[in-house]
Amino acid sequence: MAVLRRHDPRLRALASRLLGGGRDGMDDALQDAYVRAFQALPQFRAEADIGTWLYRITYNTCIDHLRRAARQPDPVDTADAAWAPALQVRGPEHAVAAADIARRALAALPPEQRATVLLVDGEGFDNQAAADILGVAVGTVGSRLSRARSEIRRLIGEDYR
């Protein structure tokens, strides 16, 4: 239980962003993920960090929820660039506008790219750890990051790092 408490805030952030921000969906997915983790605990061999293992279970559960619901987060209408000029605003409102723009651009990415960006750029995992969590090759993480960053740059019209 202490392990879940320690990792819960970061797992919630991952689930929320993967599922498009709906709290009900996030809570359902996390409940499912935690049940799956509890059921799989006897098979946990401690070859990986338990946090990485929990991220993997949460990621898989969120992807399952997206597939079952056959829904994607509301896409950003890139034809409506009314939100992009907000980056030109300076002052306290700039931070709020920039955060909203980044959130919308991130939500426009396919779930696999969104998860990769969240794990590497948001959570600070290296490419190998992200690959372990996502169940893909390290090169796939690099290519997903490249495509995602390119798309984010296109959407917001400014360098993303």
Which pLDDT score is estimated for 20? 78
Residue 75, domain member (yes or no) = no
Residue 22 within a domain: yes
- Residue 120: what pLDDT? 94
Boundary of a domain, candidates 24, 43, 69: 69
Q: What is the pLDDT of residue 92?
A: 65
pLDDT, mean of each 10-residue run, the chain (161 residues): 86 87 82 93 83 91 82 47 48 68 86 92 92 94 95 74 43
For residue 27, is it within any domain?
yes
User: 143 and 101, same structural domain?
Assistant: yes
Distance CA 109, CA 20 (A): 11
Residues 90, 113: Cα–Cα separation, whole Å = 30
- What DSSP string describes 84-113? GGGGG--SHHHHHHHHHHHHHHHHTS-HHH
Residue that is last in its domain, among 11, 41, 69: 69
**Interaxial angle between packed helices 50-69 and 23-40, expressed in degrees from 0 to 180 and rounded to the nearest 10:** 130
pLDDT of residue 21: 67
Q: Let me know if residue 33 belongs to a domain.
A: yes
Query: What is the pLDDT, as a whole number, of residue 86?
Result: 47
- How many other CB atoms sit within 10 Å of the CB of residue 119? 25
Q: Which CATH number fits the domain that encloses residue 54?
A: 1.10.1740.10
Is residue 95 domain-shared with residue 142, that is, in the same domain? Answer: yes
Residue 27 shares a structural domain with residue 63: yes
| 64 and 112 belong to one structural domain | no
Domain boundary among 27, 45, 69: 69
Nearest residue to 17 via CA among 64, 82, 62: 62
Compute the 3-state secondary structure of the chain and give helix, strand, coil in percent, each to the nearest 5: 75, 0, 25
Same domain, yes or no: 98 and 34: no
C-alpha 156/C-alpha 4 separation (Å) is 35
